[in-house]
Chain A
Amino acid sequence: MNSAVLPQRIRTRLRRRHAAEKRFRCYGVVALCFALAFLFVLLATIIINGAGVLIHKRMLFEVVVSEHHGDRYGAMIKDSWKAQFPEVTERRQRRALYGLISRDAEFLLRERLADVPVPDNGIVVLSVPFSSDAGEFLETDPDKRDSFSKRLSTEQRGWLERIEAGGKVETVFNSDFFLNADSREPEVAGILGALIGSMLTMCVTFLFSFPVGVMAAVYLEEFAAKGRLFRFIEVNINNLAAVPSIVFGLLGLAVFIGLFGVPRSTPLVGGLVLGLMTLPTIIIATRAALQAVPSSLRYAALALGATPMQAVLHQGLPSAMPGIFTGAIIGMAQALGETAPLLMIGMVAFVADIPDGFTSASTALPVQVFLWADSPERGFVEKTSAAILVLLAFLAVMNSAAIYLRKKFELKW
């Protein structure tokens, strides 16, 4: 129809409706941009702060291994380091000097000497990290180093610049961050302990909450009589999904640790508590997915002589799988980011060893972020951002797995 033949009144209203439509879309775009801008700023800050963790400065350090020191590796490091600065005599100066290299150097030497015999000349070349302030100083552009005037003394800066000029400083990929567990020395603190802790915890969470949640949902949806008890349970499950997570921590403390004697601070108890937290999400998602399966499918199975169990296991569940996985992953992603319930069950802890099983002491990624963010040492600022990036990457991997599984099990009618 040609708009020219329409009466004026209708044309005006049509124009107004089209304008409203346009405005509505505009609001949507603005909202999206707003959200994206925030996300961008957040990510950009984290990346800018955390990227520095990828490379760090180390020193090629010749350690003189002498008989008379026996197994006092700290003394060997200190003596070899001091020998490079003959002018250092006072106690105060020595302390300032020792403060420039990582305290971890003596353990690196100890490890090295355990593996490799000492060469005849008694000199072991070791790649040693600088202490975090010194490392940061060396990574800074020479023109901008004045800002360190309060953190490092003039003397210390002079020594560092001398070592740098001597060509003993190397810039290398910071594998320590990815291969070490936590440490109180920022320059050697790593994320691997927390990462493995989180993986183990998530394994337990999945193995506990997925089967239990799916079974509960299948029963509620397919078999339970829909009476008053049913509605009571339904309301309570929905409520449970909104309970603050710390409550689950308290419950876990009382039941798992207090009653069953599951060891504290382990991925096992952490996973069980987070599993409890995830259960309602999985049950709700599974029920919704089962409801979305066309009932004709089930009736057809029943009509062909399948038992109700066969109808669910062969038709209902496989068709609902994509939805169930989506729900499970949303629940797990929530659980991955939790620290509050872990505080109660002892996972907010300093763990210097990489966990090697479900019952070894361990912490988790968000806890590591929290602990580092709370540390006075300046070196941990960078580590905090980098740990957040690792957490985000872990989340991305988990979500991709969910998408893959969903695609794999997707059925089309």
Chain B
Amino acid sequence: MVLKIVVWSILAFLLMPLVIIVLFSFHASPSLSFPFAGFSLRWYAEVLGNAQLGSALVKSLTVAGFTALITLILGAAASLAWLRLGPRGRAVLEVLCLTPIALPGLFVGVSLLVLFAQTRIQLSTVTIVISHVVLALPILIVAMRARLALFDPSLEEASRDLGASQMQTFGKVTLPLIAPTLIASAILAFAVSFDEFVVTSFVAGTETTLPMYIWSMMRRTVTPLINAISTLALVFSIAILFIAWLIGHLRRRSAVAGRTVS
């Protein structure tokens, strides 16, 4: 009973900020405190009407999308290698991956800026994506490692034994089994990139991402616009999860249905 109360209060503590943000995003007045003065969609209208905010959002989505895609491809290759490495190789890979995570963002930002300056690469969306891949890839590999450790290599042998070539085995066994891990990791990379601020501010040049825009907004005054933006981001991430679940569910149903009709 006591444990139950503890669990619920921890959950409540974690979810409270979300509830407050969603609630105040519908607030009719610009005040960010109680008493609540009634519902309104004015902040959403203002968000949609704000061209600067819109372009920052598009920029962030583009950067996050490319970051997720690139880290997904590199991460998939790395995970396949990881599955085939011995314990010593795995240890080396892990040390190499963990080191960048331990570095402060400030340090990474400065060193990337110096690197781009030395190699005369113009600061642009491309440099933001490169920087975000550098940040997201180690996190992605660490996140995947735990899941991949559960992958049973004898499944690949079973597939070969049953007559599947190496490519067929990859397509029919390895990829479907690591796909949930890869997709989860790609979403993680997307999230890392989407709200990255410190490193981005070094390498963005004249570009503005959403976190940078919000930051510049906040420096003037705290506006309820931020609540609306956050709520939209929340709905967006829930939608992604729901779609992923739906795809898996529908595929399963069609597989069973296709067999019983004879």
A and B: interacting chains? no
CB within 8 Å of A: which residues of B? Answer: none
